[in-house]
Structure 1
């Protein structure tokens, strides 16, 4: 995994005062704290608060055909070195030209200030430098704020899925995609 750490070079260059770190399993407790700060998202999605092992499970959850070596969980730390955000992604999924952004969270106190857009842009710049052509993600239908956020960043809905189970809830999902701007 040390090779992954080197790959984060330049990730936060447009986030002065903030730092990023590739999170590893040893960071599960810190990540769990962020999950618990973002309980409203778990309630919206699953109808229940995050489990006490939600962060730990995040490190091992990968789609079929992928391994944990394809997974990147990048933590965003404020100037006091506290975890305030994260992006979980899978490289080369569902194809070799795409990175899948599985989850992006910001602590509630950090929202509405443009930091989420800056964090995403830093992520996109980073994956662009690796030759990726697009980023894809999904948003549950009832997450209107999330859908608006991703649309504001240029993501377009490419399809809507049939409703499926998420914890105690059932949701249709919008699959969205955005071409990655080439680095100059």
Structure 2
């Protein structure tokens, strides 16, 4: 699908965006299922999107292309662990781009604006979580300057 970059803006999410964002959340869950055998069946709500929109420590952004929302993400200020060098960090989540718009730089637009917001809060550390086996996402985040930090491991012993 062609995208006219001149019609594309990144803006703050509003309550009017909630139906589309709820749809994106379920699409994100479905995209992550192959990477996580621990996810329950059916609808999953990782977080309350409206609560994130209202939270002063969180910036929820959408990518709007000609009045069609094609992507979203959020940055949230979180407290670092007592033993870390920084007191707070920006955490990025709910990174989603509609499949037909992937590979067109939309995720990078989101990352750029989310990083700017985190910087505007006086914070320079940014983190996110991505499934190790989600190679496309890992490569995209590495291209945007992220480096792997820790790997969470699990096993089923039952």
- TM-score surpassing 0.5? yes
| Partner in structure 2 of residue 127 of structure 1 | 118
Q: Deviations over 1:66-106 (max 9, x none)?
A: x933232211111x211111112211443644100122110
**Are 2:20 and 1:33 equivalent residues in the alignment?**
no
**Aligned pairs, how many?**
144
Separation of aligned partners in 2, 1:106 and 1:93 = 28
CA distance in 2 between partners of 1:151 and 1:119 (Å): 15
Q: Secondary structure at the residue paired with 2:74?
A: strand
For 2:14 and 2:92, the matched residues in 1 are separated by 17
Residue 158 of structure 1: SS of its match in structure 2? coil
Matched, 1:75 2:62: yes
Answer yes or no: is the 8 Å Cα contact 1:21–1:74 preserved in 2.
yes
In the alignment, which residue of structure 1 is the partner of 2:70? 84
Match of 2:100 among 109, 114, 123: 109
| Residue aligned with 1:19, SS | strand
1:117 is paired with a residue whose SS is: helix
Q: What displacement does 1:107 show?
A: 0.5
- Unmatched runs of 5 consecutive residues or more in structure 1: 1-14, 62-66, 165-169, 171-184
